[in-house]
Amino acid sequence: MSGKLHLHRASSVVVTGLAPSGAGTAEIDGLPVLLPGALPGDVVDCLWEPPKPGGRQGLAREVRLLTPSPDRDASRCPLAGACGGCAAAGLAYEAELSLKCSLLLEVPLKKAGLLRAGLLESPAAQPESARRGFRNKAILYPALERTPQGGLAGRFGYYRARSHRVVPAENCPQTPRWMHEAARDAASLLVRGPLSGTAQAPDRTLRALCLREAPGTRERLVTIVSRRPLGEAERKELRELIEPLARRLNLAGVALNVNPNPGNAVLAFGPNAVETLFGHSEMRARIGGLEFEATPLTFLQVNSAQIERLYAEALKGLDLKREDRFLDLYCGVGTLTLLGARCGCEAAGIERVEASVERARRNALLNGLERVQFSAGPVEALLEETAASMRPNKVMLDPAHRGVERSVLEALARMPVERLVYVACGAAAFVRDASELVRLGFRLERVLPVDLFPGSLNIETIGVFSRQR
């Protein structure tokens, strides 16, 4: 009862924004408030509590929809609002794209003093024909349910927003049909065999299921993530269980990854982190006319329909020539490095993940590209040494969501870099780093949003920079 004393009633509230959790956002009495279940354009009544001391947002309770937003689209996903994977899945795609470009790029760029006429280009939208089944990677989490007969049934799905409760999602509209079938088949492993759990401990052994499909070739790879090492007899039993499933689904391979570590990281990395259970634990992708090997531990963009557009636009921004010296930072398995090196220029890539660097070197040999070198380690530790030997004049930045260390940006400003392209999966980090690059003497020429994440409150961004004269 004491909590209710702090609740206030609000009527006819117009929802104006969307939080990463999927909750709508609005201002009530001049204060920012989260409204779970509401979408931009909705008009609602609610009870709400102001932000707690030190907090940034209030929270609405008992949200009642008065007038639904004209941008609502219930046909996009039956799990919208329940699954925590896609905050914007309840909106029509065009409205989602406009909202993301405004909230994530236009408003922050303006606030940072970077926005000017013509800078922010029209987004490269997900093709209408590829708005279902476009993901080439899915990570699913296990759950056990009671059957009407009192037994146990296994399910796979995604976590509900702000929780570790699994929402069964074998039929996610973003994943291809074979992934739906793989999730249903693999559910049997939760109730029999060495990975099975109990009603009291449903997640005893099996931590996650990672499903991947290689762009261009559609080779399929499944990785089972266990919380503990399996004994020889357990591995033999698991192989016998998964072999008929793997053959029926035409899988290139099934791998086992053991990750006993606490936290949200799904996979464990290391020299012996992956064991092949069936077929082989690698797949070959085809991107931009080149071939790339990848393993469960290596990164590829998740949207097969948009990869070619993203990479073509990024490389167009660098305008590479044979005489250039091209440095690719956070290079993964060398996709952008090698696509850029086809012009014959000298190229180098730096990547923290050793497994990715090993594949990058193999990919260079696979595609017959010789003027390329790769180094394994943190960019901030290897940049100066690599740059001293090649003096790069064109640089690609493709960092993780958190963006680039300031020391890296400062080091780039001391080099003879003429053009720089930043490929960002985190818009907030991009705006922050773009501001720093401008302060260091670069000019932000163009910003192109490329939608790789339909349904989510996220958008890939290409920023093209040139050295200020």
Distance between CA atoms of 306 and 129, rounded to whole angstroms? 12
225 is a domain residue = yes
Tally of structural domains, the chain: 2
Regarding whether 162 and 50 lie in a shared domain, the answer is no
For residues 153 and 271, state if they share a domain: yes
Q: Render the burial of 288-314: b for 16+ CB within 10 Å, e for the rest.
A: bebebbbbbbbbbbbbbbbbbbbbebb
Any domain includes 43: yes
Q: Is residue 141 part of a domain?
A: yes
| 58 lies in the same domain as 141 | no
Last residue of a domain, which of 239, 264, 286? 286
For CA atoms 254, 257, 258, 263, the dihedral sign is: negative
Copy the structure tokens of residue 187: 């559910």
pTM: 0.92
Q: What is the pLDDT of residues 410-421, one digit of tens each?
A: 999 999 999 999
State how far the alpha carbon of 170 is from the alpha carbons of 68, 81, 117, 138, in Å: 29, 16, 45, 10
Has residue 428 been placed in a domain? no
Provide the 10 A C-beta neighbour count for residue 153. Answer: 16
Mean pLDDT by 10 residues, the chain (469 residues): 68 93 91 94 95 89 94 90 85 96 96 97 96 95 85 86 82 94 92 75 79 96 94 94 95 95 89 92 95 93 96 97 97 97 97 94 96 96 94 97 96 97 96 98 98 95 91
DSSP structure class, residue 5? G
Please tell me what DSSP assigns to residue 225.
E
Q: Which domain holds residue 49?
A: 3-67
46 and 145 together in one domain: no
Looking at 19-128, which runs of residues are DSSP E strands?
Answer: 24-28, 31-35, 43-49, 58-67
Tell whether 142 and 225 lie within a shared domain. Answer: yes
* β-sheet bridge partners, residue 283: 294
Q: Where are the beta strands (DSSP E) in 324-431?
A: 325-329, 346-351, 372-376, 394-397, 419-424
Query: Tens digit of pLDDT for each residue in 259-310?
Result: 999 888 999 988 788 999 999 999 999 999 999 999 999 999 999 999 999 9
Last residue of a domain, one of 286, 321, 350: 286
Whether residue 122 is contained in a domain is answered as no
Dist. CA 364–CA 350, nearest whole Å: 14
Q: Is residue 82 part of a domain?
A: no
CATH number at residue 156: 2.40.50.1070
Assign residue 17 the CATH number of its domain: 2.40.50.140
Backbone region of residue 190 per phi and psi (left: phi > 0; alpha: psi in -120 to 50; beta: other values) = alpha
At residue 372's C-alpha, the angle toward residues 368 and 374, to 5°, is: 120
Residue 275 counted as domain residue: yes
- The residue out of 257, 286, 315 marking a domain boundary is 286
Is residue 170 located within the same domain as residue 42? no
The residues with which 167 forms a beta bridge, in sequence order, are 158
Domain co-membership, 44 together with 186:
no
Asked if residue 434 belongs to a domain, the reply is no
In a shared domain, residues 141 and 279: yes
